[in-house]
Chain A
Amino acid sequence: MKTKVEEINRNIYDIKNKDDYDFKIKKGLTREIIEEISAQKGDPDWMREIRLNALEVYNSLELPTWGPDLSELDMNEIATYVRPKSKLNSSWDDVPEDIKNTFDKLGIPDAEKNSLAGVGAQYDSEVVYHSIKEDLIKQGVIYTDMETAVREYPEIVKSHFMKCVPVNDHKFVALHAAVWSGGSFVYVPKGVKVDIPLQSYFRLNSPESGQFEHTLIIVDEGASLHFIEGCSAPKYNKVNLHAGCVELYVKDNAYLRYSTIENWSKNMLNLNTKKAIVGKNAGMDWVSGSFGSKISMLYPMSILNGEGAKTEFTGISFAGAGQNLDNGFKVVHNAKNTSSVVNAKSISKNGGKCTYRSLVRINENAKNSKCSVSCESLMLDDISISDTIPTADVRTDEVEFSHEAKIGKISDQAIFYLMSRGLSEEDAKAMIVRGFAYPISKEFPVEYAVEMNNLINLELEGAIG
């Protein structure tokens, strides 16, 4: 008896609207194109300079010599800026019908009513809807699109933009800095606890284009926030590119939880970069579900700069036919008494490839730090691939570091046990897979845990033959 998996039923995510835009930059990546994007967006001079400098850095860096093969990416075939036929709105009624319908089907307005304190919705290169609850505004919380932040809070943006993630970090960071557009800016003032999550949803509709949103979040001293990021796109025959950048600043005694359900279409190259700088006694938790993309290279990173800083990463990747998901986590312990916990899982089926790639670095000054990493991989057939490639760099003696990983198939004993309790083999296997993913799904808010479980169910539908 073999575990077979059908292609995911993506009818919600595959809604294709007509490629009807207000402005689309020509394909390619030249100085003229960057200048044109900058002009179209009305950038101040300092931002234009950042973009042009980033282009030079991009041209000077080579493609990664490791990880998935990116040779199919041809920047001459990608339009890096597509402005939809919509301005930024604060009411869904003002969003053009076709765009609003897409977000309706993705359940964003409903989620906003029921369980969110603010929503940002990006369509192609621009944010088309943004809202935040009145009581948060009164407390001084800022949640807006990045373009507005550049205009209205230039000093804060200037001192944080591309500082956590330096432009020369890698080639796709440089690309991002050159062509970024859209994204969210959040500032939570000192001591303010945002109890209900904020969410930004990124939707790419235009074929042969890229999305390069920038998310900048500053959680000031003693404040807390849960931020949720969702993303999807319909499938096209040619490559789409996502090279977003997330910069998170978690100040002393603050707390940030950053949850992501990534469900890009399977023609997407997802080359995203996420980094957090964590202050004294602050906490940074990442929760990540990675289901879509043709190729994904995503390694969120926590830099524990403050004494007693903590971080936790909980993530799952689910790779099916034609997918190569190279995901993981990086943490740098850079102060005393810091701690990190990593719990990563992956499921590979139908010829998909999952790789867990990571770095733990415990610096000389990180005395009395602790790090514990656990990876589990499940293979659902013999044509898939699952790799674990973790690096640990320990530079001082007063630390506790441990890493463990295991790889295997669904246990025959567990199936036998469940079947002896009256379950069919199909149900038994599906239950085991859901159980395998449960420690991750329980970390999401209920609505997103349900979405994640639905995605797993869809992946497993008709799976046993």
Chain B
Amino acid sequence: MIKLNETPVRTARNFNINNIKLENIEIPEKFEFFQNANIFIESPKDEVSLCQNDTNLTYGLGEFFTNQVKEKANHFLTVNVNSKMKKLIMIDFEFDKNNLNLVENILINAKEGTKSTIVIKYKAEENLKCFHNGIIKVKAEKNSEINIVFANLLNIESNNFISIENELLDNAKVQWTIIDLGGKNSISNYYSNVLGKSANNELNAIYLGKENQIFDLNYIGELRGEKSNVNFEVQGALKDSSRKHFKGTIDFKRGSKKSKGNENEACMLLSNKARSLSLPMLLCSEEDVEGNHSTSSGKVGDKELFYIMSRGFDEKAAMKLMVRAKFNKILETIQIPELKNEILYEIDKRLD
């Protein structure tokens, strides 16, 4: 049994949300170099190089997974963003029978005043049991602006573990869009250290669970700079016997005067066996701040469903439409039509 993804602050043990305990996880021992990483760089000014990076994390999933990346990573990349024109960098990890296991370490350096869009995608063929464990660190220097799309399109036989850590300096803007669809277990740790003044971190995330999938999402935003902003928007849907644990923390540290933090998580329950566990925390050690959080769980509204069905859709199609409508707000942040369509196709496939 492995215990991982601890919350920054503990609550009562019998609430069963301080961490997740996973049993019978098949963890590979050996990792050959992962060959199927396709990288596309739109601007010649930007650089992507194969390079080992520091694996120290403030939070992360836990010692075991951090050490695995440190000692056994079979892919590592350093991305230096130098362009000021918001060009695309695409990193595409395609799992197949020769590339079943990926342990990667990615460092993204957004230099002062630069802009970019980075897509990191993980996709696996059906019926392959794949394993993914990664660390992605982002350093956003002053006045940089970076949009990152993280698309977990793995199948539901695989296991997905990811630790993300952001550091934002003055006026930096980091926006993440996380699409979390794959993995029998999909365990994510996301941490933003908003150090600079007027820095802005946005996280828009979608999760969609089916069968026995388990999502454990631990999203943490710590505000330290004045007039900063952290915004978490999470939309999810759970089918069958799937379950999710959402642990969101917005922490106003001393010094974060005039900052704002918002956190919203909404879970649509599409089955009476699905289970939604939420812990949206708001921690505050600073006076002049504004913090809000909200969370909701429930089934698709009967009235809305009836309205759509009265327009000629059957129940399944109407339900699908409702889920897509909820997700659309987040999908709109993806500016690449091909990627958006691919994600929509995957969502539809999993909803059928």
Q: Interface residues, chain A, CB within 8 Å of chain B?
A: 64-67, 357, 359, 364, 367, 377, 379-382, 384-409
- A389 contacts across to B, CB distance below 8 A: 9, 11, 279, 281
Bound together, the chains give a CA A392 to CA B293 distance in angstroms of 13
Chain B interface size band reads: 35 or more
B56 lies within 8 A of chain A by Cβ: no
B62 lies within 8 A of chain A by Cβ: no
Known: A357-B11, A384-B287, A389-B11. A397 touches B299 (CB 8 A): yes
Partner of A406, one of B18, B272, B278, B291: B291
B169 lies within 8 A of chain A by Cβ: no
B298 with A385: CB separation less than 8 A: no
B88 lies within 8 A of chain A by Cβ: no
Partner of B295, one of A385, A387, A402: A402
- For B257, the closest partner residue in chain A by CB is A382
Q: List 26 A-B contacts (CB under 8 A).
A: A64-B13, A66-B12, A66-B13, A357-B11, A377-B284, A379-B289, A380-B287, A382-B254, A388-B281, A389-B9, A391-B278, A392-B279, A394-B269, A394-B277, A395-B275, A396-B272, A397-B271, A402-B295, A403-B280, A404-B292, A405-B280, A405-B293, A406-B291, A406-B293, A407-B289, A408-B290
B299 with A387: CB separation less than 8 A: no
B279 with A404: CB separation less than 8 A: no
B334 lies within 8 A of chain A by Cβ: no
Bound together, the chains give a CA A391 to CA B13 distance in angstroms of 11
Can you name 10 extra interface pairs (CB under 8 A) apart from A364-B272, A397-B270, A403-B293? Answer: A382-B286, A388-B281, A391-B278, A392-B278, A397-B271, A400-B298, A405-B293, A407-B284, A407-B292, A408-B290
Contact with A along B286-314 (1 / 0, CB 8 A): 11111111111111000000000000000
- B269 contacts across to A, CB distance below 8 A: 394, 396-397, 399
- B297 contacts across to A, CB distance below 8 A: 392, 394, 399, 401
- A377 contacts across to B, CB distance below 8 A: 282, 284
Contact with A along B11-24 (1 / 0, CB 8 A): 11101111000000
10 closest A-B pairs (Cβ-Cβ)? A397-B269, A66-B10, A382-B287, A407-B291, A404-B294, A394-B297, A397-B299, A388-B282, A402-B296, A391-B15
Bound together, the chains give a CA A396 to CA B296 distance in angstroms of 13
Residues of chain B from 242 to 294 with CB closer than 8 A to chain A in the complex: 252, 254, 257, 267, 269-272, 274-294
Known: A392-B295, A401-B297. A381 touches B12 (CB 8 A): no
- For B254, the closest partner residue in chain A by CB is A382
B289 with A394: CB separation less than 8 A: no
